[in-house]
Amino acid sequence: MRDRQRIIENLEDLFREAFKRADEAKDTEAMTRLDFEFQRDQLYLEVALDMRELLAAMDSGKNAEGTTTSLLEKAQAIRKLTRLR
């Protein structure tokens, strides 16, 4: 599994390349759009990585009965985590 920092750096590299091309073309609309999309994608990525870490932590531990966590238990944990309050 790739580590969190490497994934974020890959996203930043892609953004910088696209932003540089838009800057060279003096395309301010594309630069504005890319800036928004980068921030949105970074937020989505952070959430996905948090979910990955949550599921990995559940895999490494045992539940109260000493058995491993089932897929249903993982789904319930995600639901509990994402429930709006």
Q: Average pLDDT for residues 3-11, to the nearest whole number?
A: 91
pLDDT of residue 56: 80
For 37-43, what is the mean pLDDT? 95
Sequence-distant (6+) residues with CB within 8 A of 40 are none
State how far the Cα of 12 lies from the Cα of 65, in Å rounded to an integer.
Answer: 43
pLDDT number for residue 43: 93
Residue 73 pLDDT? 80
In the structure, what pLDDT confidence band is assigned to residue 18 with cuts at 50, 70 and 90?
very high
Model pTM above 0.75: no
